[in-house]
Amino acid sequence: MKVNKKTISNFIQSILLITISIVCINMGGGAEKTTILEPAFVPLEDNQGIYSGMIYDDKNEIEVKDISFTGHTAIGGIRKETDDSVNKIELSKLKEIKIIEPYYISKKYSDKEYILADAISITGEPIKEILIPRQVIICAVDKKTQMEKAWFLYKISKITINHREIKTATGTEEEPVGIFGQIKSGVKSVVDKISY
């Protein structure tokens, strides 16, 4: 059987076109659908606040320090069903984050995966029904064992932040909360400036 060169050339071009199409289809949108299979610990980055507290994992209450969202103490991309704003939460401004639904299908943002959570601000104000991206990871160091730990946020039930314990250059000290804490902090900063 005789095969001409034009037929072979057309066949090779067709194969190349199909291969390139498959590669392009697989590359398109893949970054948005990437899922992390296992959380990894990321140490707290420099110039971040240093927070301790409790992480509630199943029936375990784990006392932790250096709490972060993969090295940072703030995270953006927080939404609400009730408005169109994009919000940021900061550990410095929260007492608690409580997971209500670990997998929440939003009516408003159905193209993304969220956790439904409630929070309590440092002033005691409840922050109801916030939508946190589902792949958020919480990192912390176990105070008792010094083990570095990482969780998907949706896998825990609650985080509480202890704002009374403040990290200083010489160690930790208990700091009064509220108006007296603010007065003491203000006086301390004035004294520090005068001493220079």
Q: Tell me whether residue 137 is in a domain.
A: yes
Q: Tell me whether residue 33 is in a domain.
A: no
pTM value surpassing 0.85: no
Burial of 102 (0-12, 13-18, 19+ CB in 10 A): middle
Q: Distance between CA 60 and CA 87 in Å, rounded?
A: 30
Q: What is the mean pLDDT of each run of 10 residues along the chain (196 residues)?
A: 63 61 46 67 92 94 96 95 93 96 92 95 96 96 97 97 64 47 52 46
Which neighbouring-strand residues pair with 62?
A: 55
Q: Tell me whether residue 138 is in a domain.
A: yes
Q: Distance between CA 129 and CA 131 in Å, rounded?
A: 7
Q: Tell me whether residue 2 is in a domain.
A: no
The domain total for the chain is 1
- Structural domain range at position 57: 52-163
Q: Tell me whether residue 114 is in a domain.
A: yes
